[in-house]
Amino acid sequence: MTEDTFTLLAIPFGLLYLAALACIYRILLTYRTTQGAIAWITTLIALPYVTVPLFILFGRYRFGGYMKARRSGNKALSGLLEEFECQTTSIPEPNQEEFGDELQVLCKLSRQPFTNGNNVALLKDGEATFDALFQAMEDAEHYILLEFYIVRSDRVGQRIKAILERKLAEGVAVWLLYDDIGSLSLSRRWLKELEEAGAKVASFGKGNIRRRRFQINFRNHRKLLVCDGKTGFVGGINLGDEYLGTAMDQEPWRDTHCRIEGPAVTGLQLAWLEDWNWASDTKPELDWSPSFTSPGEDKVLVLPTGPADTWETCALFFLNSINNARTRVWIASPYFVPDVQIINALQLAALRGVDVRILIPEKSDSLLIRVAAYSYLIQARQAGIGIYRYQPGFMHQKVVLVDDRYASIGTANLDNRSMRLNFEIMAINTSPHFIQEVTEMLEDDLKHCRLMTESDYEDRSLLFRLWCRTVRLLAPLL
């Protein structure tokens, strides 16, 4: 090898290792978990030519661009938040029996108040949800706000587009925000026709390239709809045929959504506005007067979470719920890949006598996550945690039930992506009648579940157990 050739090779390798050192510097300043930091640093040193590009694309844990957008629009949004809290009938007294310390924590995490006077309907499957969504859009008089992780141009998607085009022709304004990764298969023609009809459309990933800066590892996993600021929907259901069982003759996905009428809808609208402002750099004029047109008895808090928050809001929500449970904590999640702090909290809850039940699907759309769940089985069963696998179809709901004190319906899973990388949203309800409905729903789901035992893991082959433990190492990336 000549000296010139050596020099030509040394320069790019030197630059590569300088880039690796820059990545390590950033990791040391910003890492959230020791395990993730060590994994990144080790591979950056050993395989910089592979890991440097991967880190640039997937290594960020804080959504810097969104944080800047939040700060730039913070004055206007803060004003709306203050107005919202002043105008609503919130639960003001910390000493109220139903408003314990853990609910005060949730208000601080959310930056929103619990509100009285809501009317919430539990929607237990795709058919009930779509019927309610379609009707709410048909009844809209002023505007419709949509935000979904997955939007498809299948039969459900075509039905929604037809309704939106008809409402646009009537003079109703429509804003649609979708995630470009989740909606990768969405037809460009579907979007173009909707825009030509007058809708404002933005992609969470492509809408603001100037601010994004390679932050493609973040997803907007929220699923919500707001009509006229009066009626809102939130839960686990995306816009696709799979929830009706009409996609490729498959069984319908088991999922849960809820319809909210009342002042808590303003909380959904605030979360939508912040996301829309990030994606489009615009702030539409909306109705910010909390609605009391359908007064109810539900006490509701809207809790948005995401990687632009000051704290790991989603993880703190789960830890707060598990650590404060007194008699039971039941969690339904299609993805069960908890980190150390979550599994430890679940173990401690079970050891102090709390009825801990985790509902996960038998059938899954992710082989790696399904396999990883087996690796937690021994830890869970030894502490008394019940892990139940739902048998018919794919269970996709995200529900948390804590004692007889509150229930949450939303989009957050028990995995690292929801805890640290996704934008999620949940509606937390403290009303006894709603909690009873959720209890009955989960009890019915449990009838269709199989309780896992240690033998489900121990009686499998050594190769399978090694595979489970190996996949678990990837938990921070799943």
Alpha-carbon distance values, 30 to 24, 25, 299 (Å): 10, 9, 37
pLDDT at 246: 66
Distance CA 129, CA 107 (A): 27
Alpha-carbon distance values, 317 to 103, 119, 239, 438 (Å): 10, 23, 26, 19
pLDDT at 313: 93
Using DSSP, state whether 273 is helix, strand or coil: helix
Are both 54 and 68 inside the same structural domain? no
DSSP 283-322: ------S---SS--SEEEEEEEE-TTSSS-HHHHHHHHHH
Distance CA 415, CA 478 (A): 7
Q: Beta strands of 38-157 (E only): which ranges? A: 115-123, 143-148
Are both 210 and 334 inside the same structural domain? no
CB 251 within 8 A of CB 271: no
Residue 356 lies in a domain: yes
Q: How many domains does the chain have?
A: 3
Are both 411 and 395 inside the same structural domain? yes
Kindly list the catalytic residues: 221, 223, 228, 396, 398, 403
CB 123 within 8 A of CB 235: yes
Question: Phi-psi category of 262—alpha, beta or left, where left has phi over 0 and alpha has psi -120 to 50?
Answer: left
Listed residues 236, 268, 299: the one ending a domain:
299
Are both 217 and 321 inside the same structural domain? no
Are both 295 and 383 inside the same structural domain? no
pLDDT at 210: 47
Are both 265 and 331 inside the same structural domain? no
Are both 340 and 449 inside the same structural domain? yes
| Amino acid found at 354 | V
pLDDT at 17: 67
Domain extent at residue 22: 8-58
Listed residues 246, 264, 299: the one ending a domain:
299
Alpha-carbon distance values, 428 to 295, 400, 406, 449 (Å): 18, 9, 7, 25
Residue 97 lies in a domain: no
CB 346 within 8 A of CB 385: yes
Are both 285 and 320 inside the same structural domain? no
Distance CA 431, CA 94 (A): 17
Question: Phi-psi category of 393—alpha, beta or left, where left has phi over 0 and alpha has psi -120 to 50?
Answer: left
Alpha-carbon distance values, 314 to 7, 87, 318 (Å): 50, 27, 7
Q: Which of 378, 379, 390 is nearest to 456 (CA)?
A: 378
pLDDT at 35: 64
Given CA atoms 373, 375, 381, 382 in this order, what sign does their dihedral have?
Answer: negative
Are both 226 and 319 inside the same structural domain? no
pLDDT at 211: 47
Query: pLDDT by residue (tens digit) across 322-361?
Result: 999 999 999 999 999 988 899 999 999 999 999 999 999 9
Residue 305 lies in a domain: no
Are both 248 and 227 inside the same structural domain? yes
pLDDT at 128: 95
CB 277 within 8 A of CB 73: yes
Residue 181 lies in a domain: yes
pTM of the model: 0.85
CB 419 within 8 A of CB 434: no
Question: How far does CA 382 lie from the centroid of its chain?
Answer: 30
Residue 2 lies in a domain: no
- Determine the longest span between alpha carbons in the chain, in angstroms: 83
Residue 233 lies in a domain: yes
Helix (H) or strand (E) holding 271: helix 265-280
Residue 255 lies in a domain: yes
Are both 168 and 249 inside the same structural domain? yes
pLDDT at 18: 77
Distance CA 37, CA 391 (A): 37
Are both 175 and 257 inside the same structural domain? yes
Distance CA 267, CA 428 (A): 12
Give me the residues of the chain with pLDDT under 50, please.
69-73, 92-95, 208-214
Residue 88 lies in a domain: yes
CATH number for the domain that contains residue 254: 3.30.870.10
Listed residues 299, 332, 361: the one ending a domain:
299
pLDDT at 64: 53
